[in-house]
Structure 1
């Protein structure tokens, strides 16, 4: 049992370590590795333990700062044990610096990884505000993020806490540029709270220019998981280089950006925790799970990545997220990365075999004189060219697909060996048409749509197309044959909603694709990629870049047209009855 008292002073960090060691508080092994390092500091003769700065800031936060958002708005900012331990870990360890000639804070860089809605932004905002008031005179603090809106969240959190406290508000002022000492209504002529104190709190984003040349004492970068590289990080770190005791915060959840800045940063952090890399000035506080299996098997383990669960974050919310994640791969990506800090890569398929497996078929005669939605994924030379018609019946939400594929004849010989015979069989079965030479002949695509109209009376409400190589094909479709067309970009904003609805319909057996083997092949090869807005789009599975997903893409293009014009299209479908 670890004694939480150190030389007559109660240590929140020692209390936290003790409760984690006895499993009264559950944490992941990565945080335990850091706590072991911190515990060793208490017996290190080269490190001085001084609680003054830490407890001064803890007291400031709990007595001066108030929450500003529901359901805690207006209430005092009472820190949880893990938050007090975190603050102590930042401030209590001192080492002698020969260059400065005195004791300085050991930790200068802080990496704080915790799941969403566990109060990370309010906590770091409160620490920044405490540093503004409790730190040295003239300190400059900079809030940053990947975009201006996210940087503003931290800045507004700091300002809201400032405004909630009359004592803080009366000695400071805020304008469009930032927060400063000195209140014009109640001016002080001298001292830390006067205009002579040139300290400030400001905000920038990764898109803000001229970051070089700044001189700051504290830099806090929020949601670093969105950053692809360190171009927006390094100028801030360099701006801290003149300080005796700089503080650089990186706070984030896990992300969905592959091979981004956070991936490299976490790789280094884990090398430090494992003892393979020496970074003694770096505090690495990772609230992570030990594995994915424990998430599904034991909800008690959720606190490892969600230390605020039950106080800040609701158990009911987490249970709801887990149930949704069980039913949707796209939802699972976000729940595992955002709620449990488990990195999600594009290494697994979007759909299971059960999702794709639908043997139901139909006869095209069932849709004679029907209205449909068209979709094409055009490729001049490389991938498959996919053409598709989506049809529906009155009083049914099932989607029926007619499809055809095209490929240049010269490309058959360049296919991977395992795919070559498949493609040749699809050509023999009449599911795929060869174009002479090295390029797809888009006239054959147009002819396929026209034949559906001529032979079966199928009229197209609209036909969606991706923008690649489509100029002359669109002209032919619209001017020569009278079809309406609409461009559907293959982007997050355009593809996310259709991909989610298509997934739900596939899982509910509402997508009837006539058991087409090429459709099945394309669906099996499709993975998802995501952005920070919880938008998704299709991508090839990592390691299977030579496989094709064009058939899945045209399904989503049809769904995009359907979603945008649902009422009009369903009214036309109703006339079939």
Structure 2
């Protein structure tokens, strides 16, 4: 129901026109729709506009685009593929909020849209990309001739998701498809099979829809009318967004939309934008042309204690996003730090620091010491994290007993003599204690002597018969060391310290530590390294180790070699366990 449908006496009408925004606000105020405090503040601001004599309320543009989306656009992905794109009330209210408020621009002597900058934050799987994609397509057809639209994101793949969503909706509609064309460069008006000589749908309309990524720059960003940037939480700064914002500034009625979930990048672009946005909502700074539409929780505590609050960050819950899926994510988040970080940031828009401690003190606690004699003539998996100079190096072997899932670690650390002299007094005394206990081997001079690392592996074999099945090492380590190990009969395999290779073993190390399936012989340096280790997480929910924020001078090498050992174990589990069982 949009206009002229017997709505004159309805409480959600304004000057005879039905308003989805008024309906949404009323239901939010009554508690029929649950939203967070930040969105409620923005809605209160919008309600003031209805009584502001300097702002004109005009529903035509907003309702035209809502009607276009619901009658011309179709979903293209399961389980809604082929079905009309029927908007929920929160989506209609959002579109209305963008379009219905007008202010008079004296420079061009006409009324123009008030909101020209939009920040839309909503949890994943709530249809944000399809919604903004449909809005871009609506603007392409409903806007003026020559409308140029640019889809952008941190990487080309994410930018392509929005572009493909737009193109798929175009292809699903026969009436839209027959007056447009697309190729690898973009979407254009004019169909070579059914050409039109003149008018909006002819080749004379130079409107386009294109895509770029932050990595390719904004070379295509000159003089565009609509700019939509997806997943801005991945951006470290504004170097890729500013060219787009400047490009739309040449238009009389530009529209720049940033859509995203929360993220884990510290002091990134989204952090700064949200700081400014919250200042606007709190009345500390004035940005009347910025529509700030935040679906956020009011606290982390309510996520765990009140399931009804989940809809604050998930307005599509039960319609677009399955409640059962979210329940499953919550249960997994209770036992996994990486899942907790991912779920709170991506499913509830609660910012997570990607450099907070990975493990709790209880997780790190090891069992009583074991004797190396228990593993005489055992097979092992080796791992090293080598540092040429000025740093700690770590080497270890991982051993198992037949019929058991428990992993036992023997380890040795290495440090250059010059590094010790540069340490603060407290750290120096700590390292001196470790050296006296033969936990650390000191290399003379300014560099670690990798031959000492080799000698340690050789010693384990000669004195205790511990044979390394394979030894994992970081790809940045000296290749000469690997050749030296090979000369002694050790097979070394590279394990790159990247998300793809480190994520799975890091998650398994965490699970085994929590289950007390790791015994690192109560080595204090292992404990020290585990305490200093944080996790970094990407959009694919992959993780890798980093240093806890504020502890950049601390070391995590021991934790890294545990993860490297687990990587080799995972890749060779069957064969290694068969050797253990001999």
Which TM-score band (shorter chain)?
Answer: over 0.9
C-alpha contact (below 8 Å) 1:256/1:343 kept by paired residues? yes
Residues 459-478 of structure 1 aligned to structure 2 (within 5 Å): 459-468=467-476, 470-478=478-486
Mapped pair 1:124 → 2:159 = no
Change (3 A) 1:512 1:13: same
Mapped pair 1:547 → 2:559 = no
Residues 81-100 of structure 1 aligned to structure 2 (within 5 Å): 81-100=89-108
The secondary structure found in structure 2 opposite 1:555 is helix
Which residue does 1:183 correspond to in 2?
Answer: 191
C-alpha contact (below 8 Å) 1:104/1:244 kept by paired residues? yes
Change (3 A) 1:78 1:380: same
Which residue does 1:217 correspond to in 2?
Answer: 225
Mapped pair 1:557 → 2:557 = no
1:331-373 deviation digits (Å, cap 9, x = unpaired)? 1111111111111113531011221112243221221111111
Deviates more, 1:359-368 or 1:498-507: 359-368
Which residue does 2:280 correspond to in 1?
Answer: 272
Instruction: Please state how far the C-alpha of 1:422 moved relative to its aligned partner.
Output: 2.8
Instruction: Compute the RMSD of aligned alpha carbons.
Output: 1.8
Mapped pair 1:502 → 2:509 = yes
C-alpha contact (below 8 Å) 1:53/1:91 kept by paired residues? yes
CA distance in structure 2 between the partners assigned to 1:441 and 1:181 by the alignment:
66
1:370-408 deviation digits (Å, cap 9, x = unpaired)? 111111122233332211001112222211101112223
CA distance in structure 2 between the partners assigned to 1:295 and 1:453 by the alignment:
52
Change (3 A) 1:142 1:212: closer
Instruction: Please state how far the C-alpha of 1:417 moved relative to its aligned partner.
Output: 4.2
The secondary structure found in structure 2 opposite 1:396 is coil
CA distance in structure 2 between the partners assigned to 1:489 and 1:298 by the alignment:
42
Residues 98-247 of structure 1 aligned to structure 2 (within 5 Å): 98-208=106-216, 211=219, 214-247=222-255
Q: 2:57 aligns with which of 38, 43, 49?
A: 49
CA distance in structure 2 between the partners assigned to 1:370 and 1:170 by the alignment:
71
CA distance in structure 2 between the partners assigned to 1:545 and 1:435 by the alignment:
23
Change (3 A) 1:24 1:220: same
The normalised TM-score by structure 1 is: 0.96
CA distance in structure 2 between the partners assigned to 1:272 and 1:379 by the alignment:
48
Q: 1:536 aligns with which of 535, 538, 543?
A: 543
CA distance in structure 2 between the partners assigned to 1:14 and 1:231 by the alignment:
38
Which residue does 2:6 correspond to in 1?
Answer: none
Change (3 A) 1:418 1:303: farther
CA distance in structure 1 between the partners assigned to 2:415 and 2:178 by the alignment:
72
Unaligned runs of 5+ in 1: none
1:14-51 deviation digits (Å, cap 9, x = unpaired)? 11112222222111111112112111111111110001
1:206-265 deviation digits (Å, cap 9, x = unpaired)? 233561562211111111111122222122222212211011111111112222221221
CA distance in structure 1 between the partners assigned to 2:389 and 2:466 by the alignment:
29
1:85-142 deviation digits (Å, cap 9, x = unpaired)? 1001000000000111100000111111111000001100111111111111121111
Instruction: Please state how far the C-alpha of 1:282 moved relative to its aligned partner.
Output: 0.9
Which residue does 1:327 correspond to in 2?
Answer: 335
CA distance in structure 2 between the partners assigned to 1:469 and 1:21 by the alignment:
61
C-alpha contact (below 8 Å) 2:121/2:262 kept by paired residues? yes
The secondary structure found in structure 2 opposite 1:359 is coil
Which residue does 2:5 correspond to in 1?
Answer: none
Unaligned runs of 5+ in 2: 1-9
Deviates more, 1:164-173 or 1:297-306: 164-173
CA distance in structure 1 between the partners assigned to 2:476 and 2:392 by the alignment:
13
Residues 367-382 of structure 1 aligned to structure 2 (within 5 Å): 367-382=375-390
